[in-house]
Protein backbone atom coordinates (compact mmCIF):
# COMPACT_ATOMS: atom_id res chain seq x y z
CA UNK A 1 0.00 0.00 0.00
CA UNK A 2 1.48 3.32 -1.10
CA UNK A 3 0.42 6.83 -0.09
CA UNK A 4 0.69 9.25 -3.01
CA UNK A 5 -0.25 12.78 -4.02
CA UNK A 6 -0.89 14.11 -7.54
CA UNK A 7 -1.22 17.78 -8.50
CA UNK A 8 -4.03 18.19 -11.04
CA UNK A 9 -5.90 21.01 -12.75
CA UNK A 10 -8.84 20.46 -10.39
CA UNK A 11 -6.91 20.24 -7.14
CA UNK A 12 -4.68 17.73 -5.38
CA UNK A 13 -5.58 14.05 -5.62
CA UNK A 14 -4.21 12.39 -2.50
CA UNK A 15 -4.68 8.83 -1.33
CA UNK A 16 -3.52 5.24 -1.41
CA UNK A 17 -2.98 2.67 -4.11
CA UNK A 18 -2.19 -1.02 -3.90
CA UNK A 19 -0.02 -0.82 -7.01
CA UNK A 20 1.57 2.28 -8.47
CA UNK A 21 -0.33 3.86 -11.35
CA UNK A 22 -3.96 3.45 -10.27
CA UNK A 23 -4.32 7.06 -9.13
CA UNK A 24 -3.32 8.37 -12.56
CA UNK A 25 -6.18 6.35 -14.08
CA UNK A 26 -8.68 7.99 -11.71
CA UNK A 27 -7.71 11.65 -12.17
CA UNK A 28 -9.86 12.67 -15.15
CA UNK A 29 -12.91 10.76 -13.89
CA UNK A 30 -12.72 12.27 -10.40
CA UNK A 31 -12.27 15.82 -11.72
CA UNK A 32 -15.16 15.43 -14.19
CA UNK A 33 -17.46 13.96 -11.54
CA UNK A 34 -16.59 16.68 -9.02
CA UNK A 35 -17.26 19.45 -11.55
CA UNK A 36 -20.56 17.86 -12.62
CA UNK A 37 -21.68 17.14 -9.08
CA UNK A 38 -22.03 13.48 -10.07
CA UNK A 39 -21.81 10.19 -8.20
CA UNK A 40 -19.50 7.49 -9.53
CA UNK A 41 -20.97 4.00 -9.20
CA UNK A 42 -20.17 1.48 -11.87
CA UNK A 43 -17.60 -0.29 -13.99
CA UNK A 44 -14.84 1.61 -15.77
CA UNK A 45 -12.64 0.17 -18.49
CA UNK A 46 -9.00 1.25 -18.29
CA UNK A 47 -5.67 0.34 -19.87
CA UNK A 48 -5.04 -1.90 -16.86
CA UNK A 49 -8.41 -3.65 -17.03
CA UNK A 50 -11.87 -3.06 -15.66
CA UNK A 51 -12.37 -1.59 -12.22
CA UNK A 52 -15.40 -0.59 -10.16
CA UNK A 53 -15.67 2.99 -8.91
CA UNK A 54 -17.48 4.35 -5.85
CA UNK A 55 -17.22 8.12 -5.69
CA UNK A 56 -19.20 10.98 -4.18
CA UNK A 57 -19.13 14.44 -2.64
CA UNK A 58 -19.12 15.19 1.06
CA UNK A 59 -21.74 17.94 1.24
CA UNK A 60 -22.30 20.69 3.79
CA UNK A 61 -21.22 19.97 7.34
CA UNK A 62 -19.96 16.54 6.33
CA UNK A 63 -17.34 18.23 4.14
CA UNK A 64 -16.04 20.31 7.04
CA UNK A 65 -16.12 17.37 9.44
CA UNK A 66 -14.34 14.98 7.12
CA UNK A 67 -11.87 17.62 5.97
CA UNK A 68 -10.88 18.05 9.59
CA UNK A 69 -10.65 14.28 10.06
CA UNK A 70 -8.51 14.02 6.94
CA UNK A 71 -6.18 16.78 8.15
CA UNK A 72 -5.42 14.83 11.34
CA UNK A 73 -4.93 11.52 9.55
CA UNK A 74 -8.30 9.84 10.28
CA UNK A 75 -9.37 9.51 6.65
CA UNK A 76 -12.74 9.76 4.92
CA UNK A 77 -15.24 6.94 4.22
CA UNK A 78 -13.70 5.81 0.91
CA UNK A 79 -10.10 5.71 2.15
CA UNK A 80 -11.22 4.05 5.37
CA UNK A 81 -13.02 1.39 3.36
CA UNK A 82 -9.87 0.63 1.38
CA UNK A 83 -7.84 0.14 4.57
CA UNK A 84 -10.60 -1.94 6.17
CA UNK A 85 -10.86 -4.19 3.12
CA UNK A 86 -7.09 -4.64 3.17
CA UNK A 87 -7.29 -5.60 6.86
CA UNK A 88 -10.03 -8.14 6.19
CA UNK A 89 -8.34 -9.68 3.17
CA UNK A 90 -5.04 -10.00 5.03
CA UNK A 91 -6.91 -12.21 7.52
CA UNK A 92 -8.49 -14.29 4.75
CA UNK A 93 -11.98 -12.83 4.89
CA UNK A 94 -13.75 -12.70 1.53
CA UNK A 95 -14.50 -9.19 0.29
CA UNK A 96 -13.81 -7.01 -2.78
CA UNK A 97 -10.17 -6.42 -3.66
CA UNK A 98 -9.33 -2.71 -3.26
CA UNK A 99 -7.11 -1.03 -5.84
CA UNK A 100 -6.95 2.63 -4.80
CA UNK A 101 -8.78 5.29 -2.80
CA UNK A 102 -8.28 9.05 -2.81
CA UNK A 103 -9.69 12.47 -2.07
CA UNK A 104 -9.66 15.55 -4.27
CA UNK A 105 -8.47 18.49 -2.15
CA UNK A 106 -8.90 22.13 -3.00
CA UNK A 107 -8.55 25.09 -0.67
CA UNK A 108 -7.74 22.71 2.18
CA UNK A 109 -11.15 20.99 1.90
CA UNK A 110 -12.11 17.53 0.67
CA UNK A 111 -14.12 18.13 -2.52
CA UNK A 112 -14.59 14.53 -3.62
CA UNK A 113 -13.78 11.00 -2.48
CA UNK A 114 -13.36 7.86 -4.58
CA UNK A 115 -12.64 4.15 -4.14
CA UNK A 116 -11.59 1.79 -6.93
CA UNK A 117 -12.22 -1.94 -6.55
CA UNK A 118 -11.50 -4.98 -8.68
CA UNK A 119 -14.79 -6.16 -10.25
CA UNK A 120 -16.65 -8.98 -8.53
CA UNK A 121 -17.86 -12.20 -10.08
CA UNK A 122 -21.64 -12.29 -10.70
CA UNK A 123 -23.39 -11.97 -7.35
CA UNK A 124 -26.53 -10.84 -5.58
CA UNK A 125 -27.19 -9.62 -2.05
CA UNK A 126 -27.87 -12.17 0.65
CA UNK A 127 -31.13 -10.33 1.32
CA UNK A 128 -32.32 -11.04 -2.24
CA UNK A 129 -30.81 -14.53 -2.42
CA UNK A 130 -32.73 -15.72 0.64
CA UNK A 131 -36.07 -15.05 -1.03
CA UNK A 132 -37.24 -18.25 -2.66
CA UNK A 133 -33.95 -20.11 -2.03
CA UNK A 134 -33.94 -23.80 -1.16
CA UNK A 135 -33.67 -24.67 2.53
CA UNK A 136 -30.21 -26.22 2.05
CA UNK A 137 -28.85 -23.07 0.40
CA UNK A 138 -30.33 -20.81 3.08
CA UNK A 139 -28.79 -22.98 5.80
CA UNK A 140 -25.38 -23.03 4.14
CA UNK A 141 -25.28 -19.24 3.68
CA UNK A 142 -26.43 -18.51 7.22
CA UNK A 143 -23.93 -20.94 8.72
CA UNK A 144 -21.12 -19.37 6.70
CA UNK A 145 -22.14 -15.85 7.69
CA UNK A 146 -22.32 -16.83 11.37
CA UNK A 147 -18.86 -18.40 11.31
CA UNK A 148 -17.19 -15.55 9.42
CA UNK A 149 -18.76 -12.82 11.56
CA UNK A 150 -17.81 -14.68 14.74
CA UNK A 151 -14.23 -15.00 13.52
CA UNK A 152 -14.15 -11.29 12.70
CA UNK A 153 -15.53 -10.37 16.13
CA UNK A 154 -13.03 -12.66 17.85
CA UNK A 155 -10.37 -10.40 16.32
CA UNK A 156 -12.14 -7.38 17.91
CA UNK A 157 -13.20 -6.05 14.51
CA UNK A 158 -16.79 -4.89 13.96
CA UNK A 159 -18.36 -4.25 10.56
CA UNK A 160 -20.94 -1.67 11.81
CA UNK A 161 -23.05 -1.91 8.64
CA UNK A 162 -23.75 -5.64 8.57
CA UNK A 163 -27.21 -5.57 7.01
CA UNK A 164 -28.04 -8.55 4.81
CA UNK A 165 -28.03 -6.24 1.77
CA UNK A 166 -24.32 -5.61 2.48
CA UNK A 167 -23.41 -9.29 2.22
CA UNK A 168 -23.03 -10.70 -1.30
CA UNK A 169 -23.66 -14.25 -2.50
CA UNK A 170 -21.62 -15.37 -5.50
CA UNK A 171 -23.75 -16.91 -8.21
CA UNK A 172 -21.10 -19.19 -9.71
CA UNK A 173 -22.33 -22.80 -9.49
CA UNK A 174 -18.94 -24.14 -8.35
CA UNK A 175 -16.75 -22.30 -5.79
CA UNK A 176 -13.34 -21.43 -7.22
CA UNK A 177 -9.85 -22.23 -5.94
CA UNK A 178 -11.15 -24.96 -3.63
CA UNK A 179 -12.72 -22.44 -1.25
CA UNK A 180 -16.28 -23.53 -0.38
CA UNK A 181 -17.27 -20.08 0.88
CA UNK A 182 -19.70 -18.11 -1.25
CA UNK A 183 -20.29 -14.91 0.76
CA UNK A 184 -18.46 -11.59 0.55
CA UNK A 185 -18.56 -8.71 3.03
CA UNK A 186 -19.35 -5.36 1.36
CA UNK A 187 -19.50 -1.67 2.34
CA UNK A 188 -16.92 -1.86 5.10
CA UNK A 189 -16.23 1.87 5.45
CA UNK A 190 -17.59 2.02 9.01
CA UNK A 191 -15.60 -1.02 10.13
CA UNK A 192 -12.99 -0.99 12.83
CA UNK A 193 -12.20 -1.86 16.41
CA UNK A 194 -15.20 -2.56 18.64
CA UNK A 195 -16.66 0.40 20.52
CA UNK A 196 -18.97 0.25 23.56
CA UNK A 197 -22.14 1.02 21.54
CA UNK A 198 -20.85 -0.47 18.32
CA UNK A 199 -19.65 -3.83 19.59
CA UNK A 200 -20.49 -7.29 18.28
CA UNK A 201 -24.09 -6.95 19.50
CA UNK A 202 -24.59 -4.07 17.06
CA UNK A 203 -23.46 -6.19 14.10
CA UNK A 204 -25.85 -8.99 15.05
CA UNK A 205 -28.65 -6.43 15.46
CA UNK A 206 -27.93 -5.16 11.92
CA UNK A 207 -28.03 -8.70 10.51
CA UNK A 208 -31.30 -9.43 12.27
CA UNK A 209 -32.95 -6.08 11.56
CA UNK A 210 -34.44 -7.43 8.33
CA UNK A 211 -33.35 -10.99 9.00
CA UNK A 212 -35.98 -11.30 11.70
CA UNK A 213 -38.58 -10.92 8.94
CA UNK A 214 -36.72 -12.97 6.32
CA UNK A 215 -35.73 -15.89 8.55
CA UNK A 216 -37.77 -18.50 10.34
CA UNK A 217 -37.34 -18.72 14.10
CA UNK A 218 -35.29 -21.92 13.77
CA UNK A 219 -33.04 -20.18 11.24
CA UNK A 220 -32.48 -17.25 13.60
CA UNK A 221 -31.73 -19.65 16.42
CA UNK A 222 -29.36 -21.65 14.21
CA UNK A 223 -27.55 -18.51 13.04
CA UNK A 224 -26.92 -17.34 16.61
CA UNK A 225 -25.99 -20.87 17.75
CA UNK A 226 -23.37 -21.22 14.97
CA UNK A 227 -22.06 -17.79 15.86
CA UNK A 228 -21.69 -18.83 19.51
CA UNK A 229 -19.98 -22.09 18.55
CA UNK A 230 -17.39 -20.28 16.44
CA UNK A 231 -16.77 -17.68 19.13
CA UNK A 232 -16.11 -20.50 21.59
CA UNK A 233 -13.80 -22.19 19.07
CA UNK A 234 -11.88 -18.89 18.79
CA UNK A 235 -11.53 -18.84 22.59
CA UNK A 236 -13.92 -15.87 22.80
CA UNK A 237 -17.01 -17.43 24.44
CA UNK A 238 -20.17 -15.39 25.05
CA UNK A 239 -22.58 -14.89 27.89
CA UNK A 240 -25.85 -15.14 25.95
CA UNK A 241 -27.93 -14.24 28.99
CA UNK A 242 -26.31 -10.81 28.77
CA UNK A 243 -25.81 -10.61 24.99
CA UNK A 244 -29.34 -11.31 23.74
CA UNK A 245 -31.03 -8.42 25.60
CA UNK A 246 -28.29 -6.08 24.32
CA UNK A 247 -28.79 -7.32 20.73
CA UNK A 248 -32.51 -6.70 21.16
CA UNK A 249 -31.90 -3.15 22.45
CA UNK A 250 -29.58 -2.33 19.54
CA UNK A 251 -32.08 -3.76 17.06
CA UNK A 252 -34.86 -1.60 18.53
CA UNK A 253 -32.66 1.48 18.16
CA UNK A 254 -32.05 0.63 14.50
CA UNK A 255 -35.74 -0.07 13.84
CA UNK A 256 -36.75 3.27 15.35
CA UNK A 257 -34.12 5.05 13.27
CA UNK A 258 -35.43 3.42 10.09
CA UNK A 259 -39.00 4.35 11.01
CA UNK A 260 -37.91 7.98 11.35
CA UNK A 261 -36.17 7.97 7.96
CA UNK A 262 -37.92 5.62 5.49
CA UNK A 263 -35.26 6.34 2.84
CA UNK A 264 -32.99 3.99 4.75
CA UNK A 265 -35.20 1.08 3.69
CA UNK A 266 -35.05 2.06 0.01
CA UNK A 267 -38.70 1.24 -0.62
CA UNK A 268 -38.78 -1.97 1.41
CA UNK A 269 -41.28 -2.69 4.15
CA UNK A 270 -39.96 -1.30 7.46
CA UNK A 271 -38.73 -4.00 9.86
CA UNK A 272 -40.92 -4.84 12.85
CA UNK A 273 -39.92 -3.11 16.06
CA UNK A 274 -40.68 -6.14 18.20
CA UNK A 275 -38.39 -9.16 18.03
CA UNK A 276 -39.22 -12.26 20.06
CA UNK A 277 -35.65 -13.00 21.14
CA UNK A 278 -36.79 -14.78 24.32
CA UNK A 279 -38.24 -17.60 22.21
CA UNK A 280 -34.86 -18.45 20.70
CA UNK A 281 -33.79 -20.31 23.85
CA UNK A 282 -30.06 -20.37 23.19
Q: Report, as an integer, the average pLDDT of 73-91.
A: 93
DSSP assignment of 136-180 equals HHHHHHHHHHHHHHHHHHHTTEE-S---GGGEEEE--SS-STT--
* 2-37: pLDDT as tens digits: 888 889 888 999 999 988 888 998 999 999 999 999
From start to end of the chain, where are the E strands?
2-8, 11-17, 40-46, 49-56, 98-106, 109-117, 123-125, 157-158, 167-170, 183-185, 192-193
* 28-69: pLDDT as tens digits: 999 999 999 999 999 988 888 889 999 999 888 888 888 888
Which sign does the torsion angle of CA 130, 131, 135, 136 carry?
A: negative
Whether pLDDT at 196 is above 90: no
Give Cβ neighbours of residue 116 (< 8 Å, ≥ 6 apart).
22, 25, 26, 44, 51, 52, 53, 98, 99, 100, 101
Q: How far apart are CA 133 and CA 139, in angstroms?
A: 10
Whether pLDDT at 175 is above 70: no
* 104-129: pLDDT as tens digits: 999 888 999 999 999 888 899 999 99
Diameter of the chain by CA atoms? 62
Nearest Cα to 162, choosing from 223, 232, 121? Answer: 223
**Other C-beta atoms within 10 Å of 220: how many?**
22
The answer to whether the CB of 75 falls within 8 A of the CB of 83 is yes
Give the pLDDT confidence score for residue 265 in this predicted structure. Answer: 65
Domains observed in the chain: 2-117 (no CATH), 123-280 (1.10.510.10)
Q: Report, as an integer, the average pLDDT of 129-143.
A: 95
Amino acid sequence: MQARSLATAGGTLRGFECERGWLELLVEHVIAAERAGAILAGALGTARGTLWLKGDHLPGRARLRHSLRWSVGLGVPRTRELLNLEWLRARLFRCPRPLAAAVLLRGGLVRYQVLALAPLDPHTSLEQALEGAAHADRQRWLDELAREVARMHALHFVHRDLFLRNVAVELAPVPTRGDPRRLLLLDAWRSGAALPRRGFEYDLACALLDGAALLERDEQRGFLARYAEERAAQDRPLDWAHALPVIDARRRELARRVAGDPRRQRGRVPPPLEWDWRSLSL
